[in-house]
Structure formats: structure tokens, C-alpha cells
Chains A and B, each alone.
Chain A
Amino acid sequence: MAPDASGEMFIAVLNDRFEILADAPLPQYDSPRAAAYAARDLRDGEEGIFALVCDPDLPPRMDILGRLGRLGSAELIRLRDYGVVSWAKGQGYRVVLIYDRPAGSRLIPGLNGPFAAMSEERVIGQVLTPVVATLKQLSKQGVTHRAIRPSNMFVRDEDGVVLGECASVPPAFDQPPVFETIGSLMADPAGRGTGEPADDVYALGVTVLALITGEDPAAGRDSAQLLAEKMVTGSYHALVGAHRLPDAIRDLLRGMLEDRAHARWRLDDLSAWLEDRDMKPIRSPDSLKPERAFAFAGHAFHEPRALATALAGDWDDAELPDGGHEILHWARQSLGDDDLANRVLTAIEMSKRDRQSRVGGGQPALIARLCMALDNAAPIRYKRVSAYIDGLGSLLAVRFRDQAFQRDATEIFRNRLPGCSMRMVEGSRSNAPGMARAFARFARFVESGGIGGGIERCLYELMSHQYCHSPLIADQKVMRIEDLLPALERIAGRGHSGPPVDRHIAAFIAARCEVNVEGFLKGLNSNKTGEDAVIGMLGLLAAAAAKTKGTRHPDLARWISKHIRPAVESYHHRSWRAKAEAELPAVIESGDIVAIYRFVANSEIRRRDRDGFAQAQARCRHIDRQIAVLSSPEARNPRQAAEYGHGLAVTLSAILGLTAMATTVVLVLH
């Protein structure tokens, strides 16, 4: 890392304990997407550690870091600490992982360059045995490694290796295609998901093969070619090919490279094999060719997985005019697979229901559901998106800036495809019920589509350490809500004309904040410039400010003040408005965002203002009606005037007459 603009070397400090020396890179410990730097433990001055600084555009596996830190395995690189640090000036925040430095160098520098083949015994003793033990420990913690490859292993001694790090990028993101199963290869590298221990066993099998043969098992084939060959001939034949291997190793690799995950050797099977090397893999049953092939796009398909792959391969032209019923008929009559036929029926009925309820969907959603039904081990495939459910978040994070991808991802949530996928593969992947509930919320987010919802909210809900993509602060890579207002404070003086809350910031706060901010979001969405929108904006910022109690943000407060006039002007009562206008500058100058929110929102005064205004309006309407009546021609009714005049005449006559009579009586008697 270069020195900052002032020429000083930058030193970041993690959790008040680890100094990260940005001017001392350690390229030998670099991961493909994360740079390694020298680090020092401030408690004891220890320097046998290094810091891996993660790429902010690739979400690290935050969910497993705690468990990795607690793991006491000598065969896995030891994670000492982790956290978010403010990185060199103007480069925002980074997730940093502190690891112990491995004693030796990498087992091989990489698959591309030449490397010497190892003897079977050495591979089994130095690599397979310790890695299986480590994977067992990881499995007990519910962690999959997903980065097992020869270049991610460090030599410990002649008896063992240390497995490299696996948390700096999404699961299996850095894995070359050859180390991934058929299903994983179908997924976008960022959407491969956490996976199962069986995925690690597969990668370990490819690692063993590479080390024994001294060659890259991919042998110049790209991802698509590898996928096609693995699907047609099976992984074992596609990778082992013509290599001459001892029978025991052949059995081992057959067991580890089995494409059916349930039939692949488990870690206990590997331990058993390591003890007596006598275990035999389960032979794949000879698949019966169906009576009739399914014709699609000019090709005949005998395998449902191949048909699903073809359906998912051409989203522009794929058409199923019969709504998928022909596939259902094929599954029932020709394949004779009742489970598969039931899944196809479920997919058809879900699509029909969506069309009736006008949720959306159409052909692409139907095809996506049929693909899930035909190949329930495959990832969700929908247009540009291909990911396992537990990889959707990381894929969204990695490709969020791609507008077309965003549109497709939105459609996935709107069409509730994750829920459909979970129905198709129920029980086969972990923590499905929790995710089902979460994804049901996401459908509501994208359907509402307002500020604080939409695909942005899905992103921040799915990825707990995703930095805020708001154009205002994206360069600062804000990952924690407590860093949000300081980031806005830093840019407040740059003369932004718009408000300090946009779609991303609103979604970021809503996803990260522990308090309920739905009322503020409702206000923000009610109208964009009125009182409710201003109070909604202030409420969100105040919710974020509550995380940094006591911190003043004077520049941000001044920025906010340019946008809160509608709320101050919304007071109907002139004296209250005048009072608010008079007191506001002092509140703004305090820089206390919570105080500004309380001052502007002031619910009691606003309630009184609203009630008083309603009464004033009612009184004005009444007055207007009265004036109209009194000014109308009817108010000069001659009959009414005559009645009134005659009454007056009687009164006048009575006064005159009685006065005259009384006077006469007095005069006569006198």
C-alpha cells in the first residue's frame, strides 16, 4: 500500500490491538483477491502474524470468522482476529483478517506453472491425512472450507501442511473450475454458496489428483468445457482421463470425485480408507435410457439435467407454449421418476398461480422453476443470475453495479424463486427454513420498490458487511452503521445539492439498524419533498446517529438544514412556525442529529398544529357558508322584510298609542 497524500506511511489499527503496516506488503501470503501486509500485536510486540486486507467489492465470509477464530487446529492457518479498519486516507474501510504466519512456503506456487509430482504416500501422509482431520474439525463447527487447492496449502513439515485461508472472499470464489462440482460450476463463482463438506471432499480429491500427477487436471480446458465433460462422462473420467494410477488411488478418487453428492465419500469414509486403504466406492447404477427422448430446440434429451441445462442456456428464445405439461408427461411416462414428475408438477402449478395472481413471472420464471425441478442439485438459474440460495447475497454484492444483473436479481425475488428452490431441494441444504422466511421479506422489498426497499435493501439484508453503495459515500466503503454519519460529515462540505439520504443510505440504515424505521421509510416514500419526507429522512439519520451517541456532525447538520425547510414551513400556526424558524439555527449549529430530528418532528406540537388547523378550516368553511347566505338575494326576502317591518309597526304604534293614552288620562284627571 502506497503512502498517503501527505507522504506518511499509513498504519491501521485493528481493535486497538493489531497494527497493520500498509507499507510492508507480504506478497507470499496474498490470497488471489486479498493483499497481505505485515502486522504487529501491540500487546506483546509479536510480528509472526500478517494481515489480509479484503477487497471491499468482494464480501468476506463474516459468518464463519468467529468459529474459525475458536478453532484450534494446527493444520489450518490460525485466525487471530478480524474486524473493520479505516484504511489509507480516502480509501474507506476494509475488512481485515489477522492470521499467524505459516512456517513454510506454499505447497505449490500455482497450477499454471510447473510443479513436481509427489508420491502417493507423500500426498496421503503430508496432505490428505491432515486436511481430512482439519475438515472434520471444521465440519463439527458447521464450517465448510471451499478453498481447498494445492496452492492454498503451506508446508508445515514433512508430515503435514497447513490449510490456507478461506474467508477473504465468498465461498469458492477463488477456486479454479476444476476443483468445483458440476452444480458449483453451473453457478456464478460469487454465488457458489457455503456448500457442504461433500464439496470440500471433491476439491480435496482434485487436489490429490493434481499433486500425484504433477499436472493441472483441467489440462487447458475452460470452465464450460470442464462442465460439459463432467456432465457427459462424469468428473472422474473427465479429470483422471488416461492417467495410470494405482488401484487404491483410483478407488480413492472415484469415491471423492463422485458426482452424486449423497454417494460421494464422506470424511468418515476417507478416515476409514486412510486406515486400511481397502474401502471401495459405491458403483454408480447404470442409468437406464428413457423410452423416449425429449425434443427441445432441435436436440433430443435423455437426461433431465441436460434438458435443464439447455433450458437455462437460452433465455431469449426458450419457449414452452404448453406451459411445461409436455415435460411433465415425459417425466411421468418416459423417465418413470415420480419424485421428479412431482417437482415438475409443483413448478407448473406455482407458475400458474403466479399468473393468476399477477405476481409476474411468465415464461422465464416457469423455465427457472422447471430447471429447478429437473435438476434440483443445480443452483437457481434465471437469466444472468446463477447461484445457490446461500450464495445469492454474495453474488448480488459482487455484481450489484451491473444494472442488467440487478434487474434479473429483482425478478428472482419478485417471482419468489428462492422459495421455489427451497421446496425443490427441501432438506438437502442447511438453514433452509430461516432463509425461506428471509426471502419472503425480500419479495415484499422488491415489490414495494420504494426508498429503503428494493434490491438495495435485499443486498444489505443479505450481506451484513456489505459497504454502502450510495454514490455519495461509496468511495469510503462504509460497512458499519456507526461509520455512516462520519462518512456523510466528511463529504458534507463538498456542496452536494441533493439530500443526504438516498435509496442506498436508506436501505443501509434500515438493514443495519436494530430499531424499527418502517415509519420513517413510509414518510420518505409518501412524498419526496414534503414534511413527512423530511421527518422520515431525519428519523433515519437520527437512528444511525443513535449508534454514535454524543458525536456532533456540524457539517452534516448544515447540509440537512438545506432540506428541512418544508418540515418547518409545514407548521400551519404562524407563531409556532415563526418560533421554529427562529430556534432552528441554534439547533442546527449544535450538530446533534438526534436533537435536530426531535426539534423538527416534535410530535406533540405537530399534533396540536394539525388539530388546530383542522378546526380553523372547519370554522372558515362555516363562515364562508354564512357569508354566502347573508350576501345572497334570498337574504333580502320581501316577505321577511314585510314581516319584520309590520312587527316594527306594531311596536311603534304601541309606543305612540300608549304614550298618547297615558298623557290624555293624566291631562283629563288633572
Chain B
Amino acid sequence: MAVGKPRKSGAKGEGSLYWGMVTLGAIAAGLIFALPTMLVLAVGILPTVVAAVVDLHAKKYAAWSVGFLNCAGLMPYLGNLWVNDHTVAGALAVLTDLTAWLVVYGAAAVGWAVYLGMPTIGAVILDLQNQSHIRKLRSERRKIVDEWGQDAAGGAAD
């Protein structure tokens, strides 16, 4: 055990380093080969980065919820950039377009709304699931009592 622990944390450290290197490599490659895209992404993906930073949960539900919709908001502008004018000027045109900001950050806001609103709906769904399970159990209990008599249920009514 005393030997195993440092090895485990060492492996984890190695993994993080690996992914850090890959990310840096990807960013570097992006800056070299797709600078316009990287410029739009750097500004447009900020709500997702903020969500990832503020969400302390290990599974990063907030980051994923915001991220999917944030990306969906960015996708029309990135697509237009890639197809029509993949230049720095084209990227700056997107970044200076108020509508683009509204769409991209609005989509991210919808992601936040979904993230914040779903626990309430989840509680309702969970409650409904429990009630349904209880109904099934009671039905089974009734069948047992019908077959074996009230004594099988310890004499207690349903």
C-alpha cells in the first residue's frame, strides 16, 4: 500500500500532463493552421469555460449543459467562416457582429437555464417514479395477501 499510492498519483499526474500536452498541441496547431477559427472560438466559447470553472462537480454537468448549446450557437458563424471567408478579417467581422454575440451567448444562457431548471423537474420525475414503484409493490403485496391471507403481511392491512 505504501508503495502503491505514489505510483497511482504519479500515473494520474502523467495522464494530466499528457492531456495538457495534447490540448496545447491542438491550440498551437489551431493557431498556426486555423487562426480565424481560433479567434472566434476563443471569444465565443468563453461561457463554457466560465461554466467549467465555476462548476465544482466532478462530472461538470454545468460545463456540458452550457457547452453543447454554446457550440450550437457558434456553429452557424463558424460554418459561414469556413465556407465563405476563412480570414482574420472574416473572424473580426463575426466578433464585431452584435447579433452573433447575442446568438452565441444567448445559446449559452439557454444552456445555463436548462442546467439550473432541470433539478426541479428531476425531483418531480423522481417522485413520480417512486410513486409508481410503491404502487407496484402494493399490488404485489395485495396478491400475496389474497393468496396467503392477512397473516402473511403480519396481520397489518395494506
Chain A residues in contact with chain B, CB under 8 A?
Answer: 572-575, 612-613, 616-617, 619-621, 623-624, 626-627, 630-631, 635-636, 638, 640-650, 652-654, 656-661, 664-665, 667-669
* Residue numbers in B under 8 Å from A640 (CB-CB): 126
Q: Please state if A656 and B154 are interface contacts (CB–CB under 8 Å).
A: no
Q: Please state if B79 and A668 are interface contacts (CB–CB under 8 Å).
A: yes
Q: A617: shortest Cβ distance to chain B, in Å?
A: 5
Given contacts A613-B148, A617-B152, contact A653 B114 (CB under 8 A): yes
Point out the residue from B61, B73, B83, B156 that lies within 8 Å of A668, measured CB to CB: B83
Q: A661: shortest Cβ distance to chain B, in Å?
A: 5
In the complex, the chain A residue whose C-beta lies closest to that of B73 is: A660
Q: Please state if B72 and A641 are interface contacts (CB–CB under 8 Å).
A: no
Stretch from B20-28, B88-96, B131-139 contacting the other chain: B131-139
* Residue numbers in B under 8 Å from A631 (CB-CB): 130, 134
CA distance A660 to B76 in the complex (A): 9
Q: Please state if B64 and A654 are interface contacts (CB–CB under 8 Å).
A: yes
Q: Please state if A645 and B130 are interface contacts (CB–CB under 8 Å).
A: no
CA distance A619 to B152 in the complex (A): 9
In the complex, the chain B residue whose C-beta lies closest to that of A665 is: B79
Given contacts A621-B154, A646-B65, contact A630 B134 (CB under 8 A): yes
Given contacts A574-B148, A617-B152, contact A657 B125 (CB under 8 A): no
- In chain B between 67 and 125, which residues have their CB closer than 8 angstroms to a CB of chain A? 67-73, 75-76, 79-80, 82-83, 107, 110-111, 114-115, 117-123, 125
Q: Report the interface size for chain B: residues with CB under 8 A from the other chain.
A: 53
* Residue numbers in A under 8 Å from B140 (CB-CB): 619, 623
In the complex, the chain B residue whose C-beta lies closest to that of A638 is: B123
Point out the residue from A613, A652, A659 that lies within 8 Å of B152, measured CB to CB: A613
Q: B105: shortest Cβ distance to chain A, in Å?
A: 15
Q: B10: shortest Cβ distance to chain A, in Å?
A: 31
Most buried by A among B61, B82, B117: B61
* Residue numbers in B under 8 Å from A667 (CB-CB): 76, 79
Q: Please state if B118 and A648 are interface contacts (CB–CB under 8 Å).
A: yes
Q: Please state if B114 and A574 are interface contacts (CB–CB under 8 Å).
A: no
Q: Please state if B123 and A641 are interface contacts (CB–CB under 8 Å).
A: yes
Q: Please state if A620 and B153 are interface contacts (CB–CB under 8 Å).
A: yes
In the complex, the chain B residue whose C-beta lies closest to that of A619 is: B144
In the complex, the chain A residue whose C-beta lies closest to that of B130 is: A630
* Residue numbers in B under 8 Å from A642 (CB-CB): 119, 122
CA distance A574 to B127 in the complex (A): 36
Q: Please state if A660 and B64 are interface contacts (CB–CB under 8 Å).
A: no
Point out the residue from A645, A647, A661 that lies within 8 Å of B123, measured CB to CB: A645
Most buried by A among B68, B117, B130, B154: B68
Q: Please state if A657 and B79 are interface contacts (CB–CB under 8 Å).
A: no
Given contacts A616-B148, A646-B57, A653-B111, contact A635 B130 (CB under 8 A): yes
Given A645-B118, A645-B123, A668-B82, 18 additional A-B pairs, CB 8 A? A572-B149, A617-B153, A621-B154, A623-B141, A638-B119, A641-B123, A645-B121, A650-B65, A654-B64, A654-B68, A656-B68, A656-B72, A656-B114, A657-B69, A659-B72, A661-B72, A664-B79, A669-B83
Q: B79: shortest Cβ distance to chain A, in Å?
A: 4
Q: Please state if A653 and B125 are interface contacts (CB–CB under 8 Å).
A: no
Q: Please state if A661 and B119 are interface contacts (CB–CB under 8 Å).
A: no
* Residue numbers in A under 8 Å from B111 (CB-CB): 653, 657
* Residue numbers in B under 8 Å from A617 (CB-CB): 148, 151-154
* Residue numbers in A under 8 Å from B67 (CB-CB): 653, 657
> Is B38 in contact with chain A by the CB < 8 A criterion?
no
CA distance A646 to B107 in the complex (A): 17
Q: B94: shortest Cβ distance to chain A, in Å?
A: 14
- What are 18 A-B contacts with C-beta separation under 8 Å? A613-B151, A616-B152, A620-B154, A623-B137, A623-B138, A627-B141, A630-B137, A645-B123, A647-B61, A648-B122, A649-B115, A649-B119, A650-B64, A652-B118, A653-B67, A660-B69, A660-B107, A668-B76
Q: B116: shortest Cβ distance to chain A, in Å?
A: 8
* Residue numbers in B under 8 Å from A649 (CB-CB): 61, 65, 114-115, 117-119
In the complex, the chain A residue whose C-beta lies closest to that of B140 is: A623
Q: A386: shortest Cβ distance to chain B, in Å?
A: 56
Q: B131: shortest Cβ distance to chain A, in Å?
A: 8
* Residue numbers in A under 8 Å from B110 (CB-CB): 656
* Residue numbers in A under 8 Å from B40 (CB-CB): none
Q: Please state if B79 and A656 are interface contacts (CB–CB under 8 Å).
A: no
Given contacts A656-B68, A658-B68, contact A627 B118 (CB under 8 A): no
Given contacts A641-B119, A649-B61, A649-B65, contact A657 B141 (CB under 8 A): no
CA distance A374 to B83 in the complex (A): 132
CA distance A573 to B151 in the complex (A): 11
CA distance A626 to B140 in the complex (A): 12
Q: Please state if B79 and A612 are interface contacts (CB–CB under 8 Å).
A: no
In the complex, the chain A residue whose C-beta lies closest to that of B76 is: A664
Q: A638: shortest Cβ distance to chain B, in Å?
A: 7
Point out the residue from B64, B114, B148 that lies within 8 Å of A573, measured CB to CB: B148
Q: A624: shortest Cβ distance to chain B, in Å?
A: 8
Q: Please state if B126 and A641 are interface contacts (CB–CB under 8 Å).
A: yes
- In chain B between 7 and 46, which residues have their CB closer than 8 angstroms to a CB of chain A? none
CA distance A406 to B63 in the complex (A): 95
* Residue numbers in A under 8 Å from B73 (CB-CB): 660
Q: B49: shortest Cβ distance to chain A, in Å?
A: 16
* Residue numbers in A under 8 Å from B120 (CB-CB): 641, 645
Q: A534: shortest Cβ distance to chain B, in Å?
A: 18
In the complex, the chain A residue whose C-beta lies closest to that of B114 is: A649
Q: Please state if A620 and B71 are interface contacts (CB–CB under 8 Å).
A: no
CA distance A642 to B118 in the complex (A): 8
Q: A667: shortest Cβ distance to chain B, in Å?
A: 8
Q: Please state if A627 and B114 are interface contacts (CB–CB under 8 Å).
A: no
Q: Please state if A653 and B119 are interface contacts (CB–CB under 8 Å).
A: no
CA distance A621 to B156 in the complex (A): 11
In the complex, the chain B residue whose C-beta lies closest to that of A626 is: B137
Q: Nearest 10 A-B pairs (CB), nearest first? A: A645-B122, A657-B68, A645-B119, A641-B123, A668-B79, A660-B72, A646-B61, A649-B118, A645-B118, A657-B72
* Residue numbers in B under 8 Å from A650 (CB-CB): 61, 64-65, 68
Q: A607: shortest Cβ distance to chain B, in Å?
A: 15
